[in-house]
Amino acid sequence: MLSVWFRVIRVRFLLASVIAVSVGLSLNWWINHTINPFDALLTFAGVMALHASVDLLNDFWDFKRGIDAKTTRTKMSGGTGVLPEGLLKPSSVYRAGIASLIIGTIIGGYFVVTDGIIIAVILGFAILSIYFYSTKIVDSGLGEFFVAVKGAMIVIGAFFIQSGQITLESILAGIVVGSLSSLVLFIASFPDHDADKSKGRKTLVIVAGKEKAAKLFWIFPLVSYCTIIIGVSTNLFPTISLITFLSIPLIIKSGIGLNKNYDSVEELVPFMSSTLLFSRVTGVLFVISILIGLTL
C-alpha cells in the first residue's frame, strides 16, 4: 500500500522542490556563510508537503473530470493511474491532498510568525495556487506560468528564511529554477493534449497548437541559461556556475526529439525523460556550483 501512495504522490518528481530549496539554502551559504539547520529542515518538510498536495489534488481532479480515462498513460504523463485502476479511493486521495496542504500551511505559518509578512505573501500564493491549480489555473492556460512562479518563490522563500532578505541573487536563481520546473510540465502536456482539450483545459500546448508549441520549447532552457550568464557576468553567481552548460547535450536531444515526434506519444517518451533529466542535472549542477564557489 505504501508503494501505491508513493506512486500517487509522484515521489521522484518531488526532487524539483528539493533542488529549489537547496538552491536557496546554498545561495545563502555562499553569500552569508550561515545556515540554520532547524529552519532548513523545516523548510524542506513544508515545501515537500505542499508539493505532495499539488500532485494528490491533481490526480483527484483529473480522475473526477474524466481526463485520466482519455489519456494514454506513460511514465512521464497521463496521470499516475492509481485512481483509474481502483488502487485507492478518490476520497482518500483528496483527503490526503488536503492534509498535506494543511501540514504545509502549519509549517509555513511558523515561518510567518518568525519571519513576517514576506513569508505570509509567499505562503498565501502557494495555498491558493495549489488548491485551484488543477481546476481554475490550468483551465485558464496559466499552468506553466504558475509552476515557474512556484519554483522561483521556493528559492526566494528558502533564502529569505535564512537571511531575512530578498536579493537580486535570489530572484535570478528563482528564475533559473522556475524555468526548469515549467519546462518539465510543458513537454509532459504534449501527450495529454487531446484529453485536456476535451475537458476544457488550456495548457500552453493547447493554446499554441502542438507544432508551434514544439518551437516554444527552446524558450525555457534559454531563459535559465541566459539568467545564469547574467548572474555570472554581474558577479551575482560564482563563475563556476557555468558548469550548468554541461547539460546542453541533453536539452538539444530533447528539443530535436520533440520537434520530430510531438504528435506521437510513444516516440515522445524518451525525450520527455531526457527533458526531466536535463532539468534535474542543470539544477543539481547549479547547487554544486554555488557551494563550490564558496571555496574558490
Domain map (residue ranges) of the chain = 2-293
The mean per-residue pLDDT over the stretch 144-162 comes to 94
What is the predicted pLDDT for the residue at 295? Answer: 67
pLDDT digits (tens, 9 = 90+) for 226-253: 999 999 999 999 999 999 999 999 999 9
3-class SS letters over the chain: CHHHHHHHHCHHHHHHHHHHHHHHHHHHHHHHCCCCHHHHHHHHHHHHHHHHHHHHHHHHHHHHCCCCCCCCCCCCCCCCCCCCCCCCCHHHHHHHHHHHHHHHHHHHHHHHHHHCHHHHHHHHHHHHHHHHHHHHHHHCCCHHHHHHHHHHHHHHHHHHHHHCCCCHHHHHHHHHHHHHHHHHHHHHCCCCHHHHHHCCCCCHHHHHCHHHHHHHCCHHHHHHHHHHHHHHHCCCCCHHHHHHHHHHHHHHHHHHHHHHHCCCHHHHHHHHHHHHHHHHHHHHHHHHHHHHHCCC
| pLDDT band, very low/low/confident/very high, at 140 (cuts 50, 70, 90) | confident
| Winning range, highest mean pLDDT, from 132-146, 187-201, 219-233 | 219-233
The mean per-residue pLDDT over the stretch 272-282 comes to 95
pLDDT digits (tens, 9 = 90+) for 81-123: 888 888 889 999 999 999 999 999 999 999 999 999 999 999 9
